[in-house]
């Protein structure tokens, strides 16, 4: 069985915030005399959170992406999220929420809507401004000069937006990466330190420090858009951790870990499985097993042209070895039903473990993927029948899966909702869909450092540090060793309840697994059994 690593998705996403020429605009200055209200300590259970975002102009669709990602990330706090464009804001919207976020992603030099600014100034509730456009609030747009009223109220002032390279964010004495395709920063200067808490700083290419995330009373400012990227060792980890403080919802320091053994099927090599099983027994930690219920090679790619179809059965030698793994602390995940589609190279070989099962995908010679769309015949009933068929195969073989793993993580929105109705949690990173400026469907992936319930209703377990990959994938993805995974885990320690989640293909050298598990334990992570009740 030749399971291919996931490849990068071809996307038309542009992560550059367009900068136009500054045009003088005459506006009436709003006098800000009162200090910012003191933020309340805690929010109620299941808080109502308002996410306001830019969606105007050529780049407005970026706001849709970022707000969707934030909505899902807020699922960690059991929040009820309302997303609303700034253009549709109505008086009282902020007051009707327990906390509000403004994702300023589209460069704008016009005055803020009056109702929005009035409500922002009068609200004692947490308010978080991310990205650009702070000049619409902090400057006199008639002269583009900073307004003393703003700095008198908040204790800091916007100096400029800089497109220079700012490669590093420092948070909790840990250096986090800022994306090369998103180098810019809203540069602010602290004017009254007694009014401001600087939670994180950003370093420019010369090493000069700039405030990155600051708080003045109930008002927070994040100097770029962390929702652009939530990849390994990314500065988004600082934002993810500080969401607890922004919302006044503290979670205890608790660094947990889990891993899964990937793509086990009925045809997996038994001696290799037994060798790995011995390592798992020695490690003596909980783990999960991604078990494909039915192996299919409909065109005989790996069987000399002869079609092959082998299910997990109760009395097979592989099943006996899996029962030993379960006795050693393993938990079974249903990894699709066949992890492929008959009659279709989707996009590689049509063989279980290689291909997608719940979405149509094509690949070019460089390894770039094109997400074509839902499979023909995709529907709630089709997905439910397919998932239940695989679930019954596993149950008939004596296995009771504790959760789900979407093959290559990708499915249609309809399918994800079906998975949520059958399984209590999933171990794949969330993929979410949106329309770009041309009306074309695109997808974005959220790499959350902690457990959250997504907008499909799925509880997601965090897969956060990747996987052991001694080969790499074309020029798109370099090899990844246990040392690489442990470096990513070090960055994750900044998130108070962040998980180190990874996976390991069953046919690789078990010593790499051992080094990763022991290394994570030495970093202070605790391996934890998975269940739908975890938070």
Predicted confidence (pLDDT) per residue in 189-201, tens digit = 999 999 999 999 9
- Residue 294: both structure tokens together: 């039915």
Selection from 183, 86, 191 nearest residue 146 by Cα: 191
Domain locations in the chain as residue ranges: 48-247, 256-527
Is the per-residue pLDDT at 14 higher than 90? no
506, 279 Cβ separation under 8 angstroms: no
Whole-number Å distance between alpha carbons of 212 and 318: 52
Query: What CATH architecture does domain 48-247 belong to?
Result: 3-Layer(aba) Sandwich (3.40)
Q: Is the pLDDT of residue 7 over 70?
A: no
Q: Return the CATH class of domain 256-527.
A: alpha beta
Q: What is the mean pLDDT of residues 45-64?
A: 93
Q: Is residue 10 scored above 60 in pLDDT? A: no
- Residues whose CB is less than 8 angstroms from the CB of residue 336 and which lie 6 or more positions away in sequence, other chains included: 292, 293, 357, 358, 390, 405, 406, 407
**The pair of three-digit structure tokens given for residue 333, joined into one six-digit string:** 């995940």
Q: What does R_g of the chain's alpha carbons equal in angstroms?
A: 25
DSSP 324: H
Cα 328 from Cα 323, distance rounded (Å): 9
**Residues across the chain:** 535
17 has pLDDT over 50: no
Question: d(Cα 38, Cα 40) in Å, to the nearest integer?
Answer: 6
**pLDDT the model gives residue 491:** 98
Give the residue from 182, 30, 27, 41 showing the smallest Cα distance to 124: 41
Q: For the chain, percent helix, then strand, then coil, each to nearest 5?
A: 25, 25, 50
280 has pLDDT over 90: yes
Half-sphere exposure of 256 (CA within 13 A, CB side): 17
Mean pLDDT, residues 243-253 taken together: 97
Q: What predicted TM-score, i.e. pTM, was given to this entire model?
A: 0.91
- Tokens describing residue 286: 């909980």
Is the pLDDT assigned to residue 326 strictly greater than 50?
Answer: yes
Distance between CA atoms of 302 and 1, rounded to whole angstroms? Answer: 8
Q: Does residue 459 register a pLDDT over 70?
A: yes
Q: With residue 276 as reference, give the H or E element that holds it.
A: helix 270-283
- 65, 227 in Cβ contact below 8 A? yes
């Amino acid at each position: 069985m030749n399971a291919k690593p996931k490849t990068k998705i071809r996307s038309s996403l542009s992560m550059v915030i367009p900068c136009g020429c500054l045009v003088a605009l005459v506006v009436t200055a709003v006098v800000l005399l009162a200090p910012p209200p003191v933020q309340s300590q805690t929010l109620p259970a299941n808080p109502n959170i308002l996410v306001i975002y830019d969606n105007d102009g050529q780049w407005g669709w970026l706001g849709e992406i970022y707000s969707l990602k934030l909505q899902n990330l807020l699922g960690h706090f059991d929040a009820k999220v309302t997303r609303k464009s700034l253009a549709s804001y109505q008086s009282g919207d902020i007051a009707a929420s327990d906390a509000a976020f403004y994702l300023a992603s589209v460069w704008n030099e016009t005055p803020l809507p009056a109702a929005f600014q009035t409500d922002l100034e009068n609200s004692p509730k947490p308010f978080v401004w991310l990205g650009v456009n702070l000049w619409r609030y902090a400057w006199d747009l008639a002269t583009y000069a900073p307004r003393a009223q703003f700095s008198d109220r908040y204790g800091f002032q916007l100096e400029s937006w800089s497109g220079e390279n700012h490669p590093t964010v420092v948070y909790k004495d840990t250096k986090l990466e800022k994306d090369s395709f998103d180098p810019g920063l809203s540069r602010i200067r602290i004017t009254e330190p007694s009014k401001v808490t600087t939670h994180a700083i950003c370093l420019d290419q010369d090493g000069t420090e700039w405030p990155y995330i600051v708080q003045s009373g109930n008002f927070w400012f994040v100097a770029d858009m962390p929702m652009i990227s939530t990849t390994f060792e990314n500065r988004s980890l600082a934002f993810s951790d500080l969401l607890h403080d922004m919302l006044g919802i503290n979670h205890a320091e608790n660094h947990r870990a889990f891993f899964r053994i990937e793509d086990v099927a009925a045809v997996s090599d038994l001696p290799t499985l037994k060798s790995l099983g011995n390592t798992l027994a020695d490690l003596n930690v909980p783990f999960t097993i991604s078990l494909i219920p039915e192996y299919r090679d409909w065109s005989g790619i790996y069987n000399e042209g002869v079609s092959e179809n082998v299910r997990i059965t109760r009395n097979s030698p592989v099943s006996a070895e899996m029962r030993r793994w379960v006795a050693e602390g393993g938990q079974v995940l249903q990894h699709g039903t066949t992890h492929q589609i008959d009659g279709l190279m989707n996009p590689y070989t049509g063989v279980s473990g290689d291909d997608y099962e719940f979405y149509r995908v094509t690949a070019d010679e460089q390894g770039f993927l094109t997400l074509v769309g839902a499979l023909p015949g995709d529907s709630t009933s089709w997905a439910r029948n397919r998932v239940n068929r695989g679930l019954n195969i596993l149950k008939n073989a004596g296995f009771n899966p504790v959760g789900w793993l979407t093959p290559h993580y990708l499915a249609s929105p309809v399918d994800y909702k079906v998975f949520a109705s059958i399984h209590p949690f999933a171990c794949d990173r969330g993929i979410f869909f949106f329309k770009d400026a041309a009306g074309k469907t695109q997808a974005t992936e959220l790499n959350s450092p902690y457990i959250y319930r997504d907008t499909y209703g799925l509880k997601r377990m965090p897969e956060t540090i990747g996987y052991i990959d001694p080969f790499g994938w074309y020029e798109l993805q370099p090899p990844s060793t246990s040392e690489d995974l442990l470096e990513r885990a070090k960055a994750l320690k900044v998130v108070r309840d962040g998980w180190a989640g990874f996976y390991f293909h069953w046919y690789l050298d078990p010593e790499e697994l051992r080094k990763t598990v022991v290394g994570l334990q030495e970093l202070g992570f605790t391996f934890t059994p998975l269940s739908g009740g975890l938070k």
